[in-house]
Structure formats: structure tokens, C-alpha cells
């Protein structure tokens, strides 16, 4: 378990580098036993996000084949994970789960944080898979050893494009699961296991977005964004997840009960999506009332800052172009399933960039002496991280500059678009009220 004490910091570094990571909601207890339950859309990137949001060492329940996997086995073992023997992997090994459960109970009794993905599989479906009973059994068994209920904290993981470098990722910590009526009931109490599993499912539903079909994603995302841009809302990421979940439920009910009205509303939202894609704008940017002069000042300030940093970023992009492109090439050749592409990219990217850094430092040391080589070994990773930050800043500033010219050239058209967006938001609000009533 050599990696366990370092795992939260390493995980946050990796997750925040690969994604534009946001963390929201409540907090994980800093000490004492806690069981973290999370959805599982993204293979080994999910443990990284859960560990990052926990901010403390976390021992994960992981399927047994991962412990002998040549690519990730060392990582799974080093992080102090506990094996789960699934019938789908090897029916003859399932009996070993008794030892695994005893190990988890002991870890919780010693005050550890343990995490499990109660769906039992990593998948790319648009909604939570039916939960297994393992999380409830672990909680009940751990509580029996402790002599009291332990916190069961849900963590919802949401990704915009989960296999894309520097896309958005959100980790939401929900309210602890309610134990009322289940205190003192044991792991052999099947009704207690069933009830606690249902409560864990409800807690995870509250912090995740669950679609009926992936085709609904652009529709739901734009409907929520228009509503949030035009009407008074809480701007926090956790509230956005809640609104998106409510929007998803309302859309599904409208489709079932009033299909003609659903089709009409869906056409209006999709038309707005197409317009904003052409303009490369978001609903918030359409709503923004900043004058052209204010927008120009903001853009000028950003570009002034970037002017001094762009040379460093240009050097970084040139130095690390080979490992960056090679990572994508190798992952594309490997053709991993969708839910593990990000894991392959992250692990391959780390390995290739570290190797490339060592090779560059060695070449510099060979040419200019060992002191320069050692300095390069320290400076090159800093240049790489600074490049990532500057490229993000440049994209934002470039986008704002483009929007400035749109406002300058198409002022009347933009005013009309704002009015249409406002009308669409009011229509959505009215529809949600009638659907909920």
C-alpha cells in the first residue's frame, strides 16, 4: 500500500490535468470510517476523481482481474485496493469474497475510508445501472463491528466528453445516506440490505444525470443552460446537476404524456442549439449584457497577460508534440471500449511524457553538461503544465474576441436572438411547472 498515502494528491493532479475538474456539494469526513459510493462511467479515472474529492486516503473495492493486469495491476495493488471476485470473471473464485468482506469490515473498524462502485461495472450507458447489494452489505457489516452506523456518502461523477483531454468533469458530493430504521440490523437481514441498497440508489440518483437515451443529451443540456441563463438560479455546479436531473425527468414525462408538445419543444430547443453552434456562443454569452467596449477591454487584458506567456506555451507545445500525438495514436490503435479510453489515455500519456522528459533532459545533459540536464528535468514538467494552462486561457480569450466581433457586426441579430432565448426559457419554465403539477 505504498501509494495509499499519496493517492489523493496524485489523483487530484492527474484528474485536474486530464480534465477541467470542478468539485461541488458537501464534504467527505476528514477522519473516521466512511463508505463512499459512486457511479462508474469511466473505468480507472473514476477512482482518481473520488480520491481527489475525498482529500484523504481511500481504499477501493476493485474487481480481481485488475490486480494481475500488466498495465494497471501495480497501481491497484499499490493503492491498497481490496479485490472483489465477480461471477462474470471466474465463478470458482466467488467464495473468496468472504475474505474480502472481512478485510473491508476491518478497514472501516480501523477508521479508514473505503470506496465502492455499487453498479458493479464500468459502463457507458446514459443512466445508472441497477445497483448490486455489496455496498449495503459492507455498510451493515462495518456498522456491526463499530457498534454504530457509519457515514455512507454518495459521489456523483459527470463528464462532458469523458475520453477527451481537457474536457469538463464534475464530482458532486451528496448528502449522507439516511440510516433511520436500519440501525443495529445485520448483514444477514435481507430486508435491511434491500432497503439500504434502495436508499443508496436514491442518493446516487440525486447527484448524477440519468438520461433515457444518449440522443437526449444535447436537448437536456441546452434546455438547462437556457433556463439557467435567463432565469434566477443557483450557479453552483451541484445545482446545475440538480437542474439537469429535473430537466431530464420533465422531458421524459412530457415525451410519455404529451408527445406532440414534447416534439414541438424539442424542435425549438434543437433550433437554438444549431444557431448557437454557428455563432460559437453559449446561452450565458447570449444573455450577457456587457457592452462592446467592456468586452474589448476584457479581451485586451487577457491578451496582454497571454502575450508574455505564449512564447513559453509555444516552446512547450513544440517540445511535447511527439508524446502528445503518440498518446492519441497508440490509444486509437488499441481501440479500447469507450468507458476505458480515458484510462488508457491518462496512463499512456503519463508514461510517454515522463519518458520523453527524461530523454530530453538526457540529451540536454549530454550536450551541455549534467547540471543543465538536471535543471531540465525540473523545468520541463513546469513548462508542460504551464502550456496546458496557457492554452486554456488562450482558447477562452480567443472565444471572447470572436464573440466581440459577432456583437459588433450582428448587433441587431444578436438582440433578436436574446429575445428568442428569453421566450424559450419562459416556455421551458411554464412547461416544467405544468409537468410537475
| pLDDT at position 72 | 84
| pLDDT at position 393 | 80
Label residue 212 exposed, middle or buried (CB < 10 Å: 0-12, 13-18, 19+): middle
* Cell numbers linked to 180: 433511520
Structural domain contains residue 151: yes
Percent of the chain with pLDDT over 70: 93
201, 52: one domain: yes
**Where among 205, 224, 243 does a domain terminate?**
205
182 band by pLDDT with thresholds 50, 70 and 90: very high
| pLDDT at position 10 | 93
258, 218: one domain: yes
CA distances from 292 to 215, 230, 275 (A): 36, 20, 21
94, 180: one domain: yes
Domain boundaries, position 242: 214-287
Structural domain contains residue 164: yes
Query: For 393-416, how does the pLDDT look when each residue is reduced to its tens digit (9 = 90+)?
Result: 877 777 666 666 666 666 677 888
The CATH number that applies at residue 93 is: 3.40.1130.10
CA atoms of 106 and 127, how far apart (whole Å): 33
118, 172: one domain: yes
**Where among 287, 312, 340 does a domain terminate?**
287
114, 186: one domain: yes
Query: For 287-335, how does the pLDDT look when each residue is reduced to its tens digit (9 = 90+)?
Result: 875 455 555 666 666 666 667 778 888 899 999 999 999 999 999 999 9
**Where among 182, 205, 228 does a domain terminate?**
205
CA atoms of 28 and 113, how far apart (whole Å): 9
Looking at residues 169-191, what average pLDDT do you find?
A: 94
* Cell numbers linked to 22: 470542478
218, 130: one domain: no
Percent of the chain with pLDDT over 90: 58
* Cell numbers linked to 139: 455498510
Contact predicate 141/60, CB 8 Å: no
85, 224: one domain: no
Question: Per-residue b/e over 313-322, b at no fewer than 16 CB within 10 Å?
Answer: beebeebbee
Structural domain contains residue 62: yes
Structural domain contains residue 420: no
Nearest residue to 134 via CA among 116, 149, 148: 116
| pLDDT at position 375 | 96
Nearest residue to 356 via CA among 329, 311, 316: 316
Structural domain contains residue 381: yes
182, 276: one domain: no
| pLDDT at position 428 | 92
Structural domain contains residue 227: yes
Structural domain contains residue 125: yes
352, 313: one domain: yes
CA atoms of 376 and 408, how far apart (whole Å): 46
Structural domain contains residue 433: no
224, 260: one domain: yes
Query: For 226-280, how does the pLDDT look when each residue is reduced to its tens digit (9 = 90+)?
Result: 999 999 888 888 888 888 888 888 888 899 889 999 999 999 999 999 988 888 8
Range scoring the smallest mean pLDDT among 12-21, 354-363, 406-415? 406-415
The C-alpha cell 441587431 sits at 412
CA atoms of 233 and 437, how far apart (whole Å): 20
Nearest residue to 222 via CA among 252, 249, 243, 253: 243
**What are the beta bridge partners of residue 25?**
173
Q: How far apart are the first and last CA of the chain?
A: 53
Query: For 102-149, how does the pLDDT look when each residue is reduced to its tens digit (9 = 90+)?
Result: 999 999 999 999 999 999 888 888 889 999 999 999 999 999 999 999
**Average pLDDT of the residues of the chain:** 89
* Structural domains of the chain, count: 3
366, 252: one domain: no
33, 126: one domain: yes
Amino acid at each position: 500500500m505504498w501509494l495509499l498515502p499519496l493517492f489523493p494528491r496524485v489523483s487530484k493532479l492527474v484528474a485536474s490535468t486530464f480534465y477541467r475538474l470542478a468539485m461541488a456539494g458537501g464534504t467527505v469526513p476528514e477522519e473516521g470510517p466512511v463508505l463512499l459510493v459512486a457511479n462508474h462511467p469511466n473505468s480507472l479515472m473514476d477512482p482518481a476523481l473520488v480520491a481527489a474529492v475525498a482529500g484523504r486516503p481511500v481504499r477501493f473495492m476493485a474487481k480481481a482481474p485488475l490486480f494481475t493486469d500488466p498495465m494497471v495491476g501495480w497501481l491497484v495493488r499499490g493503492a491498497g485496493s481490496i479485490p472483489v471476485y465477480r461471477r462474470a470473471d471466474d465463478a470458482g473464485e466467488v467464495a473468496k469474497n468472504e475474505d474480502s468482506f472481512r478485510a473491508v469490515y476491518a478497514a472501516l473498524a480501523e477508521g479508514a475510508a473505503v470506496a465502492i462502485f455499487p453498479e458493479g461495472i464500468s459502463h457507458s450507458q446514459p443512466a445508472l445501472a441497477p445497483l448490486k447489494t455489496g455496498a449495503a452489505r459492507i455498510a451493515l457489516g462495518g456498522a456491526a463491528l463499530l457498534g454504530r452506523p457509519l457515514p455512507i456518502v454518495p459521489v456523483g461523477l459527470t463528464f462532458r466528453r469523458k475520453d477527451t483531454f481537457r474536457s469538463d468533469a464534475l464530482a458532486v458530493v451528496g448528502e449522507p445516506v439516511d440510516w433511520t430504521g436500519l440501525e443495529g440490523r445485520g448483514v444477514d437481514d435481507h430486508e435491511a440490505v434491500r432497503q439500504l441498497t434502495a436508499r443508496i440508489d436514491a442518493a446516487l440518483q440525486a447527484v448524477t444525470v440519468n438520461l433515457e437515451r444518449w440522443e437526449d443529451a444535447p436537448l437536456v443540456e441546452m434546455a438547462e443552460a437556457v433556463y439557467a441563463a435567463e432565469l434566477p438560479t443557483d450557479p453552483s455546479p451541484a445545482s446545475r446537476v440538480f437542474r439537469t436531473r429535473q430537466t431530464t425527468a420533465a422531458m421524459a414525462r412530457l415525451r410519455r404524456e404529451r408527445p406532440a408538445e414534447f416534439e414541438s419543444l424539442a424542435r425549438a430547443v434543437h433550433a437554438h442549439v444549431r444557431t448557437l453552434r454557428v455563432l460559437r456562443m453559449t446561452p450565458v454569452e447570449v444573455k450577457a449584457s456587457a457592452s462592446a467596449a467592456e468586452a474589448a477591454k476584457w479581451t485586451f487584458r487577457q491578451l496582454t497577460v497571454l502575450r508574455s506567456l505564449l512564447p513559453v506555451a509555444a516552446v512547450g507545445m513544440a517540445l511535447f508534440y511527439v508524446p502528445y500525438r503518440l498518446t492519441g495514436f497508440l490509444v486509437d490503435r488499441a481501440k479500447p471500449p469507450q468507458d476505458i479510453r480515458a484510462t488508457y489515455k491518462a496512463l499512456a500519456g503519463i508514461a510517454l511524457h515522463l519518458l520523453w522528459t527524461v530523454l530530453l533532459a538526457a540529451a540536454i545533459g549530454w550536450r551541455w553538461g549534467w547540471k543543465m540536464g538536471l535543471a531540465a528535468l525540473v523545468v520541463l514538467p513546469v513548462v508542460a503544465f504551464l502550456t496546458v494552462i496557457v492554452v486554456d486561457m488562450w482558447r477562452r480569450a480567443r472565444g471572447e474576441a470572436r464573440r466581440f466581433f459577432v456583437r459588433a457586426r450582428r448587433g441587431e441579430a444578436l438582440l433578436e436572438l436574446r429575445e428568442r432565448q428569453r421566450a424559450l426559457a419562459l416556455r421551458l419554465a411554464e412547461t416544467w411547472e405544468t409537468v410537475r403539477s
